[in-house]
Chain A
Amino acid sequence: MENYWNKEIECMSREDMKKLQDERLVAQVKHVYENVPYYKKLMDEKGVTPDDIKSTADLHKLPFLTKADLRDAYPYGLLAMPLSECVRIQSTSGTTGKRVVAFYTQHDVDLWEDCCARAITAVGGTKDDVCQVAYGYGLFTGGPGLNGGSHKVGCLTLPMSSGNTERQIQFMRDLGSTILCCTPSYAAYIGETVKEMGLTPDDLKLKAGIFGAEPWTEEMRREIEKSLGIKAYDIYGLTETSGPGVAFECSAQKGMHINEDHFIAEIIDPDTGEVLPEGSKGELVFTSITKEAFPLLRYRTRDICVLSREKCSCGRTLIKMSKPMGRSDDMLIIRGVNVFPSQIETVLIEQGYAPNYQIEVDRVNNTDTLDINVEMSEEQFSDTIKGIQEKERELVEAIKTILGINPKVHLVSPKSIARSEGKAVRVIDKRKLHD
């Protein structure tokens, strides 16, 4: 039996949803144009006024907003409500450049928590559940978002925040946690610690986990499910768009339903900005349609994914997005094919290699070349040339299957790939040097 937090919205007919989106989009555009000079300037430059936006069909007329705009406008430049009406801020970690600060009115907090409540309900959560929130609390949106959603659903909420893993497991056992919310890497770590402590999934009451805020693979999902004896679900969101809960996975575990009554999703070609038809792979763009303090029109997430309106077995009619497959800023076009370093990384991990590699793209006689240097471990080293070439051939085959183009793979010594600040330099595009 599928449970819904808001069945009317989650299973709404496409026609009704479109009507709702049209109304809300018109109002949202008007709201930002009148209250945010930054947006007014962007729209004026593009020659668009709120009168030009009559429905979602006009969405493409609006200018894009990028992370650079958010940094430019820091801290108050995109604020659409008086500060006296705002009740909360959340912020990005700011690992690259300046932080982004997002503002919330009480209405904004409510709708965000409501989105998280839908996610918790979709994994089977009810007021009888014990929900352990092991996302970080504070400026990071993970903890506060799921905490709020858990309250709405009526779960007994354990605001653990992240870290102190043995204590996490202690509480999990003593209070019988049934739902775990944290990053997938932390869930995997908790799973390992459970084993190290001599426990098995049978010692826990956990049944489901909601894991987001970082990329993870299907293989990781299987590992976490096994080590904790649960079903593991994905959740998507960005601080800029409010936090986790913009999209959430259902019982089908095959893509995340986007809360379309609050966010309109588009897929664009990251190079041209052109809107691509449903089912195309491209950059995900979000437009908020209900936010008060920090609305976003056509915000470029830089996440590459695919949207699908295929009928879902859970009964929800909300459009689904795939797991992000990479970042648009990392995308390489090689022989006309879109290639993401993350795709190559996934193959390497699946084939038992550490993700220490370097991609070298060049152009020889007007043809793009793709060379991939991969660090091998001692176990992978063989004392025969044949043995090493065989390993290289296996990698070529596996990568070719995923990318559709033939790379050259070179196994190299451990730690031989140049690192910058501890991270291997992933891509060297020599074509740019020639232009």
Chain B
Amino acid sequence: MVKVTIDDKTIEVEPGTTILSAARQIGGEVVPPAMCFYSKLPGTGGKCRTCLVEVSQGSEKDPRPMPKLVASCSTPVMDGMVVKNTTSEKVKVGRGAVVEFLLINHPLDCPVCDQAGECHLQDLGFENGGEGTRYEEEKRTFDPVDIGNKIKLHMNRCILCYRCVAVANQLTDKRVHGVLGRGEHAEISTYIEKAIDNDFSGNMIDVCPVGALTDKTFRFKSRVWFLKPMEASCECSKCSGKTVVWMFGNEIMRVTARKDQYGEVEDQDGKTGWICNDCRFEKKDISQWNIIGPRKINRHSVISQGNYASPRQTIKKLN
């Protein structure tokens, strides 16, 4: 085991653990935000640079600080390492810079975006962003395209985290989903709207931290904070069938996988609980589901605003 200190909190972790995952083991304030890293998807991380932290002591043996901020999601801890996240001025500036960069070309169309309310970029901007913008140039724009008949890609909103590319890499070794172009012109593409024909392609929607990939069966139907997320299950031959159904009254508006506080799909029966397209897109009738109970959501305050408690409990609280 190796010892690492993050924002004055010390923890022992397995050698080879990244700074980010050590921070998540501590939990709370010390956890850096992560927009591209996804622990369930090998090969992700290192790209968005929102998880930058300062290493003020490299290790017990070599106490020199690291000269630059490092991406905590892809830097392994060393024994005796001292890391500063919220306590570092440099990190504040660096992360602020990254947020500014991520937003200059973002359309800021939250009022019409399905992701609003559960968007990691909104959270990030709220917590680390500045006021106003210094970007006076024209924003880059793309036309929305279809990825198969159930998924919509709004490239304008994409932050190029490559998570959906990693999902596609898991699904197929034919390179039908990837990045085209370079630099500012880089875009997610399925080589001209070619559908990824796979039962699990819908999981792209769940891993997308912003509203770039959305569920066409749910688009513009409701704001997420008007819905009640309920844990549900069904007999499914393709996946675990363990999902969250988002309800309005007795109607199922959309189905997603069960996600943890970092927006990552939780494990079900010892495996990552990806759900199949049938469960996600086809089963919208309440008779197809066994509703278990309200889903606890603690991160996205907009959604958790009062949707769990039964009316009676709410009244009690008010009294």
Question: Does A associate with B in a complex?
Answer: no
